[in-house]
Amino acid sequence: MSAIAASSSHDRSRSLETVDLTRSFGGVTAVSSATVSFRHGKVNGLIGPNGSGKTTLFNCVTGMIKPDSGRVTYRGNDITGNAPHRIARAGIGRSFQLCRVFPRMTVLDNLLVATRATDLKAQLGSARDRDGIDRARGWLARMGIDHLENAEARNLSWGQQKLLELAGVLMGDPETILLDEPAGGVNPALIGRIGTLVRQLNAEGKTFIIVEHNMDMVMSICDHIIVFDRGRPIAEGPPAMIRSDPRVLEAYLGV
Amino acid sequence: MRNDSEPKRWLGPIVRLAAIAIGAGLILAFPASVDNPYMLTVGIGILNYAVLATAWNFVGGFTGYISLGHGALSGLGAYATGLLITVAGLPSFVALFIATALVAVLAIPIGAAALRVRGASFVIVSIALVLILLLVFQSWASLTGGSRGFVVPRPFPELRRAEHHMVFFYLFAGLLAAALLVWWVIDRSRFGLGLKAIREDEDKSEALGIPTFAGKLVAFVVSAAFTGLAGGLYALWFGDLDPVFQFSVLTGSTMVLMALLGGVRHLFGPLLGAVVVGSGLEYFKLEYGDTPLHLVGTGLLLFGVVMFVPEGVIPALSGLFNRLFAPRETSIREVTAAALAESRRREGEADR
Amino acid sequence: MALFVQSLVLGVLLGGLYALLAAGLTLYFGVMRVVMIAHSAFLILASYLAWYFHRETGLDPLLSLPITIPLFFAAGFAMQRLLLSRLRPATRTMMSVLLTFSIALIIEGLLGYIFTGTQRRIQLGYSGASLELFGARVAVVKLIAFALAAAALLALYLVMMKSKLGQALRATIQHPEAARLVGIQTDRIAGYGFGLGLATASVGGTALALDSTIYPSLHWHWIGPLMAIIVVGGLGSVPGTAIAAMVLGMLMSLLQIPLGTTWAQTVFYLALFATLAVRPQGFFGGRLAKRF
């Protein structure tokens, strides 16, 4: 492992980390002994060429697949292999590369699903309570799609679905948010809006980890960038440093 | 709703409540209005189907998991009730409730195993469950009487036939009401919304924090309890059990057909389906005798529903109703088109 | 010991037949993620056609194969193109279960109506003959059925592995999107896949008719074990299914001695539940097998 610039000390007690994480599919090693520590309270970028293991890392971290070996820790607790819903409730939310919403439910219901009550009384209570509806409407307004409240999610445009997915993740009030290619297939104006939103939410205390290929977006909104290649981190640091790192260029251009 | 139906807001629920009241009244008045006991047994048969289809719909309608194996659960309820009476000597209705509890408890490991898989594998497991129980109950003749049949003692031996049927008609009606009530409670609840999210996208709902496995299991156990209860009540009413009819994939699939026909997303869908299919089956039996043609009829009906009305009759009818009587309540697509124009306008503004 | 050898030999013969019958079933799933419950109903239909052919013409039922194989192939193709492809992809797996189930009911009902529920059996000149094989006494009809199944499986293997159609089929099974990208018309290929599947049903049903008593509801007797076999073997994998069929067929045959026929049949379901508990993607399918 090359010298990873662990320059500035950051608060690791609350951060999301992986230790020696490994996961293979058939003969292909997607993530290879990856040890990463995402900066808490910052907007982290996770970049790298296609197939470098970024989405697999996300899937391992959020419990969707179990790593072959290694650990995932969050706020000091080992969450390796936990069920996805437990990880979500621990405060980690995520969006999907191919934006996933509940197609035949209304936009409002899509958000109401994400409320957190677990006791019996709350579970048997109405799904559409005042409190939940107000909060949902708040997020929808912030996304600019509140007028679509009663539309079925499958009728929304791609960009609107992305915003809806993001709103749904935020309804659960997560502390750390993983975004998988938020700018994918989205027009430039909307990319800008999403970027602004991320910085605003970060200022409000949310940690972000963003997998993205759109370098403009990454360089402009991320505080800290980690570069992946062939299943493990090869460089990390602030955008300015990464932009000129020869290893990064090499990874992207091949050889 | 933010569309232009404010003045009609209270009209909808009133009409619905009135319809329910009328329907309930019709059901309650049914026994008194028929003169021969045969029609009464047909009514009981339909009510039984309605309970089974509604019970099935706890799983099929909410989670989207199609089980063809619910016949296993009703069969278990029936035999458990019968055996508790004959072997353990328990009074009829005590046996019924203990049998129901037994089926619900059994449903926990069964559900835990079956719900670990999805889609095709789940259906295969559900069918396998029925078939293996059929094998077991046919072979274990010493306990169950096998194909010779198993006689369940009547709970009210002093009643005449007609009165016996009447009592059970109301018992089944009560059970149906209970099942519908629980289905309604879950439908509007947070738990129910979580289940529906599972139906839409199971992995996504788990990523949002919904404990999908626990949720599916609870739905399955509730479904099993009502199904077992219906099976047990049937045993008390009919008095004679045969594994071929109790553990039948055909019965299980008829329940599915009924729920599907009426509409699985609707409270009264399974009931409607039960009335239509149940009456149809009776008619078939009367017209064509006990030939295998009723299989063809059931098959054709299921075929028609799957190919042409997969959402069920209720959504199709309400869509028709809306188009004919409430043209101002524009379709979702039109709402969205207007909303899209609005959002494009907003996006255009944000660019400046 | 003799009994053991007898059971073993019979198990192999049985396994071979199961392998053919299950191969088609797993093919439908591989090609289109469809659970074709009507497969065993078509099996019985083929058996009835073989019996009917023999009764009407007096000829050996095997001679009906040149008629039934193309007929069933066409039926399979038509079913896929006209019915199954019309289902919405989102709910296709579940709806296909119900759709094919309805077809099975219609077939059973029509068979019962036309031929009545009386049990039928083909009586041939060689029906009672048996051969001495590895120290076991084996009925000739069982050997012929096995030979037929083996020949059909070989033909299927050759088609799948050596022909252009087979290549396209395997591509469609493994990765439909990639197959489309290289220009394979996956819809039509799926149709051929279904045709092949039903063609195996016609052969299997004819083989079955040589040795079994048939009645309309017999398909229920077969769909359970066949579904168990394809899950144990790995959904979508024809070789995996063949292996699972041999293993389970032999197990069942051997268990018949201590347990009797009825209880021995439970081995299929027990294997099914074990597979889903331990290794839901099946034991023998390797990377070809799909989950669910």
For the segment C207-245, what is each residue's pLDDT rounded down to a tens digit?
999 888 999 989 988 998 999 999 899 888 888 899 999
C290 has a pLDDT exceeding 60: no
B321 has a pLDDT exceeding 80: no
Q: Place A2 in a pLDDT band, splitting at 50, 70 and 90.
A: very low
Mean of the per-residue pLDDT values of chain A:
88
- Closest-CA residue of B relative to A97 is B204
Q: Which residues contact B138 (CB under 8 A, 6 or more apart)?
A: B144, B146, B147, B243, B244, C262
Query: What percent of chain B has a predicted confidence (pLDDT) above 90?
Result: 50
- Closest-CA residue of A relative to B196 is A105
- Closest-CA residue of A relative to B335 is A151
pLDDT at B179: 97
Enclosing H/E stretch for C239: helix C238-264
The residue with greater pLDDT, B37 or C286, is B37
Q: Which residue has the tokens 């807001």?
A: B9
Residue of A93, A105, A126 lying closest to B189 (CB–CB) = A126
Nearest residue to B77 (alpha-carbon basis) of B127, B139, B125, B137? B137
C179-to-C165, C169, C184, C186, C239 alpha-carbon distances in Å = 12, 9, 5, 7, 21
Instruction: Note whether B256 and B60 are within 8 A (CB).
Output: yes
Size of interface B-C (CB pairs under 8 A): 138
Q: Does B287 touch chain A (CB under 8 A)?
A: no
Domain boundaries, chain A: 16-101+174-253
Q: Place C58 in a pLDDT band, splitting at 50, 70 and 90.
A: confident
Q: Place C284 in a pLDDT band, splitting at 50, 70 and 90.
A: confident
Instruction: Note whether C93 and C30 are within 8 A (CB).
Output: no
Residue of C94, C102, C272 lying closest to B303 (CB–CB) = C102
pLDDT at A180: 94
- Which of B136, B138, B295, B300 should be substituted to probe chain C, the one whose Cβ sees the most C Cβ atoms within 10 Å? B295
B341 has a pLDDT exceeding 70: no
Q: Which residues of C88-125 are buried (b: 16+ CB within 10 A; e: fewer)?
A: eeeebbbbbbbbbbbbbbbbbbbbbbebeeeebebeee
Q: How far is B52 from chain C (nearest CA, A)?
A: 18
pTM of the model: 0.89
B331-to-A102, B319, B327, C56, C144 alpha-carbon distances in Å = 19, 9, 9, 60, 63
Q: Does C81 touch chain B (CB under 8 A)?
A: no
Q: How far is B301 from chain A (nearest CA, A)?
A: 26
The model's pLDDT over B46-81, given as tens digits with 9 standing for 90+, comes to 999 999 999 999 999 999 999 999 999 999 999 999
- Chains near A with 3+ CB pairs less than 8 A apart are B
C66 has a pLDDT exceeding 70: yes
pLDDT at B345: 63
d(CA B310, CA B263): 8
Q: Strand pairing of A232-237 and A224-229?
A: antiparallel
C49 has a pLDDT exceeding 70: yes
Q: Place B270 in a pLDDT band, splitting at 50, 70 and 90.
A: very high
A11 has a pLDDT exceeding 80: no
- Closest-CA residue of A relative to B192 is A127
> Rounded mean pLDDT of C50-74?
91
Question: A105 and B197 in contact by Cβ < 8 A?
Answer: yes
B328 has a pLDDT exceeding 70: no
Residue of B131, B256, B296 lying closest to C106 (CB–CB) = B296
Burial of B140 (0-12, 13-18, 19+ CB in 10 A): middle
Question: A109 and B193 in contact by Cβ < 8 A?
Answer: yes
Domain at A16-101+174-253: CATH code:
3.40.50.300
d(CA C116, CA B44): 30
Nearest residue to B26 (alpha-carbon basis) of B171, B173, B172? B173
Question: C273 and B128 in contact by Cβ < 8 A?
Answer: yes
Choose from A208-217, B316-325, C81-90 the range with maximum mean pLDDT. A208-217
pLDDT at A253: 65
**β-strand partners of A224:** A44
Greatest CA separation for chain B:
86
**Chain B 137-176, CB below 8 Å of chain C: which residues?**
138-139
3-state DSSP assignment of residue B88: coil
Q: Place A36 in a pLDDT band, splitting at 50, 70 and 90.
A: very high
The residue with greater pLDDT, C281 or C231, is C231
Residue of B64, B139, B295 lying closest to C262 (CB–CB) = B139
CATH number at residue C279: 1.10.3470
Count how many domains chain C has.
1
Q: Place C142 in a pLDDT band, splitting at 50, 70 and 90.
A: confident
> Rounded mean pLDDT of C28-56?
91
Of A94-108, A135-149, B117-131, least confident by mean pLDDT is B117-131
Question: C104 and B299 in contact by Cβ < 8 A?
Answer: yes
Instruction: Note whether B206 and A84 are within 8 A (CB).
Output: yes
pLDDT at B314: 83
A70, two tokens? 């290694």
Domain range for residue C43? 2-288
Question: B191 and A100 in contact by Cβ < 8 A?
Answer: no
Q: Place B337 in a pLDDT band, splitting at 50, 70 and 90.
A: low
Q: Place B17 in a pLDDT band, splitting at 50, 70 and 90.
A: confident
pLDDT at B7: 52
